[in-house]
Amino acid sequence: MRDQYRILLVSTAFLVSVILACSGAKILSTYSTGEIMVDGNFQEWENRLTYLENKEINLGVSNDSTAVYFCITIADQGLRHRVFTQGVTLWIDPDGGRSEVFGIRYPIGLPPALKQQMEPDLRNEPMRAIPDYRKWIDQLPRDLMLLVNGEEQATIPISGNARDLELALGFTHGNLIYEGKIPFSELGDIPVSELASGTQVGFGLAIPAQPVRKRSGNRNVGGQSGAVGSPATGSPTGGIAGRGNRLNRQLADDFEHWSSVQLASAGD
C-alpha cells in the first residue's frame, strides 16, 4: 500500500510538471555561482531543464548579476539537422513579451564540404542510426550573427569576443546541446538591481523550415530520437523523450517557441 501511494505521488508530480510546461507557465531561472561553463556539456544543467510542450526540446535558464545563461537540448533528429542546415535563433525580450529585441543565430552557414558529408545521413533517414554530430560540430564556422529588433547587425566569434557573448554546441545521449551566455549589457535596460523582485524576460527559440524535396515512396523525412532524460526534469538518467514523428511530419513548417523566464536573485 505504501509503495502504491509513493507511485501515485511520483506520477502526480510528473503530470503536474508536464501540464505546467504545456500551459506556457513561467520557467524559473536558477542563480549561478560560477559553476556554469559554456562548453556544450549539459552536466551542470542537471535538474535545471524544463520539457517544452512535447517538442522533444528541453530548456534551462540560469543567471547571475551580470549575465543570463541558457542550455537547450534537442532530441528530434529532424530538428537537429535543421539546426545545422538552417541555423537556430535565440530571442530575448527584456520586457517579458515576444518581441524580437535581441537575438543570436548560430550556425549561420555550412561550408560546402560539410554539406556533402551530411547529405548521406539526411538522405537515408530514418533508417540509419543517429549520426555522431560531434564530427560536424568541429567543422562549423566559429561566428554567430547578432540581431537587434529583428534585423541582422553583425557577426562575431562565438567565444573570446569583446562583448563577452559565448556560445557552444555539443552532442551527447542522442541530444544536440545548445549552450550560451548573454551579458545583461546586451539587453538594454534590464534593472539588474531589481532581480530580487523576479524580473521576467521573454525567451524565444526559432528554427527555420527545412526545404522539402519530392521523394518517391512513402518514407518520411525525419529520424530517431534520443533524450537527455525525463520530460519533467531533464535528468540525464531518464528514458526516451519521444519518437520524433510529430515534428518530422511537419518539417516544412517553421519551428518557434516562446517561454516566460523569471530571473533569479542571489538569495533564491
| CATH code (residue 193) | 2.60.40
Question: Contact, 38 vs 67, CB < 8 A?
Answer: no
Would residue 163 count as lying in a domain?
yes
Could you list the residue range(s) of the whole structural domain that residue 114 is in? 26-262
Phi/psi at 114 (5° precision): -70, -35
Dig out the grid coordinates for 130 from the structure.
543517429
pLDDT recorded at residue 193: 55
Quote the CA–CA distance of 193 and 17 in Å, as a whole number: 30
Percent of all residues in the chain with a pLDDT value above 90, rounded to a whole number: 35
Q: Is the pLDDT of residue 203 over 90?
A: yes
Dig out the grid coordinates for 248 from the structure.
518530422
Would residue 134 count as lying in a domain?
yes
Would residue 180 count as lying in a domain?
yes
Would residue 90 count as lying in a domain?
yes
Question: Contact, 154 vs 161, CB < 8 A?
Answer: no
Across the chain, mean pLDDT equals: 75
Residue type, 1: M
Model confidence over 93-119: pLDDT tens digits? Answer: 988 999 999 999 998 877 777 777 777
Would residue 3 count as lying in a domain?
no
Would residue 227 count as lying in a domain?
yes
Banded pLDDT at 146 (limits 50, 70, 90): very high
Would residue 117 count as lying in a domain?
yes
Q: Is the pLDDT of residue 247 over 70?
A: no
Could you give the number of structural domains in the chain? 1
pLDDT recorded at residue 108: 87
pTM: 0.74
Neighbouring C-beta atoms of residue 90, cutoff 10 Å: 21
Quote the CA–CA distance of 261 and 20 in Å, as a whole number: 13
Q: Is the pLDDT of residue 172 over 60?
A: yes
Would residue 178 count as lying in a domain?
yes
pLDDT recorded at residue 179: 96
